[in-house]
Amino acid sequence: MIHSCLRGLAFFQTTDVSVHDLHVIMWSVVVIAVALIVAAVGMVLTSVYAARLLHSVNCVVKEAKEHTGPLLEKTNALVQELAPKIHHLTENAEQISYTVREKIDEIGVTVTQINATVQEANGRTRRQVAHVDGIVSDALHAAEHVSQTLQEGIRGPLRQVSGLLAGVRAGLEKLVELSPFSRG
C-alpha cells in the first residue's frame, strides 16, 4: 500500500503526463465524486428517515406521557396516601394475631380445667347415683320384706280365726242336727 502511494506521488511530480493519463485521472475523480455524492445522498436520506423515526418516537413518547402521566401521578399519590394506612393495618393485624393467640391459649387452659371439672362431677354423680341406687334397692328389699312379714303376720292369724270359725260352724251345725228342735 505504501508502494502505490509513492507511485501516485511520483506520477504527479513528473511532467510527462499524457492525455490518456489525464482522462483516466479525470474519470477516476468523476467516479470518486459520484461515489461521494451517492454516499452523501445516502447519508442525507438516512438522516431524514432517522429524523422522521425520532420524531415519531418522540410523538409516541409524548402521547404516552400525556396519557400515563396523570395515572402515574395519581398512583404515586395513592401509594403515598395508602402507605401509612397499610403500615398501620399491618401493625394492627400483627397485634390482633398476638391477642388471638393469647386468648386461644387462655381458652385452651380454661377448657382443660372445665373438662377436668366435668369429669370430676361426672365421677361424683356416678358414685352418688350408685349410692342412691343401693339405697333405693335396700328400701325396696326392706319394703318387700315388710310386706311379706305383714302378709305372713296377717295370714297366720286369719287362718287360725278361719279354722276356728269353721270349727265353730261345724260344731253349731252338729248341735243343730242333734238338737230336739231340729227333728221335727
pLDDT at 167: 87
HEC per residue, 72-130: HHHHHHHHHHHHHHHHHHHHHHHHHHHHHHHHHHHHHHHHHHHHHHHHHHHHHHHHHHH
pLDDT at 31: 95
Place of cell 398512583: 75
3-state DSSP call for residue 183? coil
Report field, pTM of the whole predicted structure over 0.75: no
> Which parts of the chain have pLDDT scores under 70?
1-17, 181-184
Rounded distance, CA 94 to CA 84, Å?
15
Domain ranges of the chain: 2-163
pLDDT tens string 52-79: 999 999 999 888 888 887 887 888 888 8
Rounded distance, CA 56 to CA 65, Å?
14
Residue 124: CB partners within 8 Å, gap ≥ 6? none
pLDDT at 106: 85
Place of cell 390482633: 96
